[in-house]
């Protein structure tokens, strides 16, 4: 058991900054519970649930899904993850209401956030990353046709599942998602900075380099 095994870490960063890619590394290295609100919402749409039906229109346009829906979803998942284990929160919180609510949810189970990690990337690389992204429909593994293509086109290396393109990864919707990110995130970053929980990492280098930098940050946490 290392100190990373119990960590509660929030990943903040623009669409395409590499939150999902980094979460995949962290969950394997430290055996953490990965809670990705975007993935949960896409599964709800796929399964045609009431939540999925309500969320779909917002997601297609690149807008945030209403807070009450997301907060209920996260509350449910936090309970499932077990209150004592470590967590990666990927895609939540996205605005100050969600950040404050998260603290309350953790308080109720006697836990708290250990680190909010902001992944910093130059905006000009995002379009290429997102339009090149391919995701495995079966296991969720991430690929990129420019930077990390699968061995066989459109087939997952790990489970042979089919790869798909997300319907919010068009240039137009990505622009909107970037805009929405900047409109909401500054108070969240300030919130964690004031609590002395904010760390930053360069997400513009290779995925391996970013992962190594983050592992170092975690090992150096008090």
Instruction: Tell me the catalytic residues.
Output: 19, 94, 133, 166, 177
Beta strands in the chain (DSSP E): 8-13, 33-36, 87-90, 115-120, 133-136, 142-144, 163-164, 198-202
Separation CA 163–CA 174 (nearest Å)? 20
**CB contact at 8 A, 177 and 130:** no
User: Which ranges of 62-196 does DSSP label H, i.e. alpha helix?
Assistant: 67-81, 96-108, 126-131, 171-194
Stretch of residues binding ligand AP5 (CB under 6 A), selected from 26-34, 45-53, 138-146, 188-196: 138-146
Complex with ligand AP5: residue 4 or 91, whichever CB lies closer: 91
Determine, following the binding rule CB under 6 A, whether residue 92 of this chain makes contact with ligand AP5: yes
Stretch of residues binding ligand AP5 (CB under 6 A), selected from 35-43, 77-85, 109-117, 194-202: 35-43
Determine, following the binding rule CB under 6 A, whether residue 45 of this chain makes contact with ligand AP5: no
Q: How many CB atoms neighbour CB 178 within 10 A? A: 18
Distance of CA 2 to the CA centre of its chain: 23
Smallest distance, ligand AP5 to C-beta of residue 1, A: 27
Separation CA 34–CA 6 (nearest Å)? 12
Closest CA to 92 of 200, 12, 5: 12
- DSSP for residue 64: P
Complex with ligand AP5: residue 34 or 114, whichever CB lies closer: 34
Complex with ligand AP5: residue 41 or 116, whichever CB lies closer: 41
**Which residue among 37, 88, 101, 118 contacts ligand AP5 (CB under 6 A)?**
37
Smallest distance, ligand AP5 to C-beta of residue 153, A: 15
Smallest distance, ligand AP5 to C-beta of residue 131, A: 9
Smallest distance, ligand AP5 to C-beta of residue 104, A: 15
Binding site residues, ligand AP5, CB under 6 A? 13, 15-21, 37-38, 41, 58-59, 62-65, 70, 91-92, 94, 98, 129-130, 132-133, 142-144, 147-148, 168, 177, 203, 206-207, 210
């Amino acid at each position: 058991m290392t100190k990373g095994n119990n960590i509660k870490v929030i990943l903040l960063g623009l669409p395409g900054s590499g939150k999902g890619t980094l979460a995949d590394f962290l969950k394997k290295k430290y055996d953490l519970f990965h809670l990705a609100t975007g993935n949960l919402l896409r599964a709800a749409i796929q399964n045609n649930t009431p939540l999925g039906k309500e969320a779909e229109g917002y997601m297609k346009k690149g807008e945030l899904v209403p807070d009450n829906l997301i907060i209920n979803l996260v509350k449910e998942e936090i309970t499932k993850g077990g209150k004592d284990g470590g967590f990666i929160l990927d895609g939540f919180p996205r605005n100050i209401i969600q950040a404050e609510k998260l603290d309350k949810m953790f308080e109720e189970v006697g836990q708290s956030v250990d680190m909010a990690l902001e992944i910093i990337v130059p905006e000009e690389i995002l379009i290429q990353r997102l339009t090149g992204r391919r995701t495995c429909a079966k296991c969720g593994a991430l690929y990129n046709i420019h930077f990390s293509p699968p061995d066989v086109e459109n087939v997952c290396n790990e489970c042979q599942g089919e790869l798909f393109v997300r319907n919010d990864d068009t240039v137009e919707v990505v622009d909107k998602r970037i805009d929405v990110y900047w409109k909401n995130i500054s108070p969240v970053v300030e919130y964690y900075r004031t609590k002395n929980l904010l760390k930053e990492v360069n997400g513009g280098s290779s995925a391996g380099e970013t992962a190594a930098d983050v592992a170092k940050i975690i090992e150096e946490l008090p």
